[in-house]
C-alpha cells in the first residue's frame, strides 16, 4: 500500500467524489478521475457509458478534456478511483491521451481496498508521439 501526501489525498478524494456521478449502467464500474493543473486547479471526470458501448468515455479522458476545454494544459498529478474491489490503471486510449499532455506524470489509481502509483512512462513505454509546433 502506498502512502499519499496531503495534496495526493485531496486529489484522490476528488476522484472518489467524481466516481459518484459515473453513468455506468452496463459495466457497473463507477470510475472517477481528478487531475491537478500546474497552477493548482483540479478538474474531475467520470466514465459515461452508452448503449452503443464503444461511445463510452473513460473518466481519465473526460477529466483531461474538461481541463483542456477550459484552457488548462499542464498537469502535475492525476488520481483515478474505481468503486470496486479490483483496481486497474488507465486503459490504452487514456494512456495515449495522458502522455500527450503529461508525459512525466505519476498516476495514483485506487479502489475500495488498495492504492497504487505508477508513472505514465512505466504504463506506456515507447509512446507514440509527433513533433509539436
Ligand X SMILES: O=c1ccn([C@H]2C[C@H](O)[C@@H](CO)O2)c(=O)[nH]1
Residues that bind ligand X (CB under 6 A): 24, 27, 29, 31, 47, 49, 56, 58-60, 90-91, 94
**Residues 117 and 105: beta-carbon distance below 8 Å:** no
Q: Is 58 a binder of Zn ion (CB under 5 A)?
A: yes
Binding residue per annotation — 91?
Answer: yes
Distance, CA of 17 to CA of 71 (rounded, Å): 23
Of 58 and 79, which has the nearer Cβ to Zn ion?
58
Q: Which is nearer to Zn ion, 7 or 26 (CB)?
A: 26
Phi, psi of 9 (to 5 degrees): -65, -40
Cross-strand bridge partners of residue 116:
109
CA 37 to chain CA centroid, Å, is 13
Grid cell listed for 5: 501526501
Residue in 8, 10, 13, 60 annotated catalytic: 60
Least Cα distance to 89 among 120, 67, 130 occurs for 120
- C-alpha–C-alpha distance, residues 41 and 52, integer Å: 33
Site string for Zn ion, 80-99 (x = CB under 5 A): -----------x--x-----
Identify what 24 binds: ligand X, Zn ion, none; CB under 5 to 8 Å per kind.
ligand X
State yes or no: is 60 an active-site residue: yes
46 is in an annotated binding site: no
Binding-site residue set for Zn(2+): 58, 91, 94
Residues designated catalytic: 60
Binding-site residue set: 47-53, 58, 91, 94
Amino acid at each position: 500500500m502506498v502512502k499519499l501526501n496531503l495534496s495526493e489525498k485531496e486529489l484522490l478524494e476528488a476522484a472518489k467524489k467524481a466516481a459518484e456521478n459515473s453513468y455506468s449502467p452496463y459495466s457497473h464500474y463507477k470510475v472517477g478521475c481528478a487531475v491537478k493543473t500546474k497552477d493548482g486547479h483540479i478538474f474531475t471526470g467520470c466514465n459515461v457509458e452508452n448503449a452503443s458501448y464503444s461511445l463510452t468515455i473513460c473518466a481519465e479522458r473526460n477529466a483531461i478534456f474538461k481541463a483542456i476545454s477550459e484552457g488548462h494544459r499542464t498537469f502535475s498529478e492525476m488520481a483515478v478511483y474505481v468503486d470496486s474491489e479490483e483496481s486497474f490503471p488507465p486503459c490504452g486510449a487514456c494512456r495515449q491521451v495522458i502522455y500527450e499532455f503529461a508525459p512525466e506524470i505519476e498516476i495514483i489509481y485506487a479502489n475500495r481496498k488498495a492504492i497504487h502509483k505508477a508513472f505514465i512512462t512505466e504504463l506506456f513505454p515507447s509512446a507514440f508521439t509527433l513533433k509539436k509546433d
